Amino acid sequence: MTDIARAPRLNLSADEVLTTTRSVRKRLDLDRPVPREVLVECLEIALQAPTGSNQQAWQWVFVEDDERKRALADIYREFAADYLGNLPLPSYGDVRDKQLPAVADSARYLAAHMHEVPVLLVPCLKGRPDNKPAGITADFWGSLLPAVWSFMLALRSRGLGSAWTTFHVVRPENERRAADILDIPYDEYSQGGLFPIAYTKGTDFRPAKRLPAEQFIHWNTW
């Protein structure tokens, strides 16, 4: 591996990085450029993540071109308008009820400003798990998504943020359109999402309010 300690990093412990890496939307700095060397540095870290049979069958498409970003954002907004415009807010009877309006509002903000983000990332994995059994799809995405999360953690430790979005690939025809925009061979590679990347406005992110672990734990049986 090349030297991965080049860009300035926040003084955060591993636990702090893990517990404060948020989906960042409204606090993305749309005006500050993101150097390529920082993206490469974060990717070098991400590529240490596990991948099935060590195939490393991933490809990482970083989009800086304004025209292509706008085209991808248009695809994203098509589904976002339908989904977010008709999104009923469920009632859970717990802390999630207070969080949902803010989440929906920030999602609408990101949809409106996606094309303004300095860099968009589309991570891809060789193959198409369409209509395959659950075990096959779990194995497939398990060879890409740990690396994507590692990339987001590396961003956080350097004062950048992102958000995991999938609106542009919900409809197969939209994934194909995105593939055409980026010259991704659609029949050979699946897209794992669309990730806006920017420096964050401030770095004081805190752990989210989550339900207690005891509500989700099962010992030996369900």
> Any idea where the domains of the chain sit in the sequence?
22-46+57-87+99-201
Between the CA of residue 31 and those of 9, 62, 72, what are the distances in Å?
Answer: 20, 17, 19
Fold of 22-46+57-87+99-201: NADH Oxidase (3.40.109)
State the Cα angle at 98 between 96 and 104, rounded to 5°: 85
Take residue 136 and report the two structure tokens written for it: 């096959």
Q: What is the pLDDT along the chain (222 residues), one digit of tens a residue?
A: 444 457 899 999 999 999 999 999 999 999 999 999 999 999 999 999 999 999 999 999 999 999 999 999 999 999 998 888 776 777 888 888 888 888 889 999 999 999 999 999 999 999 999 989 999 999 999 999 999 999 999 999 999 999 999 999 999 999 999 999 999 999 999 999 999 999 999 999 999 999 999 999 999 999
What pLDDT score does 2 carry? 47
Residue with tokens 């925009």: 181
User: Model pTM?
Assistant: 0.93
Q: What is the pLDDT of residue 42?
A: 98
What's the start-to-end Cα distance of the chain, in Å? Answer: 42
Angstrom distance (rounded) from CA 127 to CA 143: 11
Distance separating alpha carbons of residues 157 and 17, to the nearest angstrom? 6
Q: What is the 3-state secondary structure (H, E, C) of the chain?
A: CCCCCCCCCCCCCHHHHHHHCCECCCCECCCCCCCHHHHHHHHHHHCCCCCHHHCCCEEEEEECCHHHHHHHHHHHHHHHHHHHHCCCCCCCCCCHHHHHHHHHHHHHHHHHHHHHCCEEEEEEEECCCCCCCHHHHHHHHCCCHHHHHHHHHHHHHCCEEECCECHHHCCHHHHHHHHHHHCCCCCCEEECCEEEEEEECCCCCCCCCCCCHHHCCCCCCC
Q: Phi then psi for 184, rounded to 5 degrees?
A: -80, 130
According to the model, what pLDDT value does residue 100 have? Answer: 83
Strand pairing class (58-63; 160-161): unpaired
**Is residue 83 a contact partner of residue 110, using CB atoms and an 8 Å limit?**
no
Res 1: pLDDT: 46
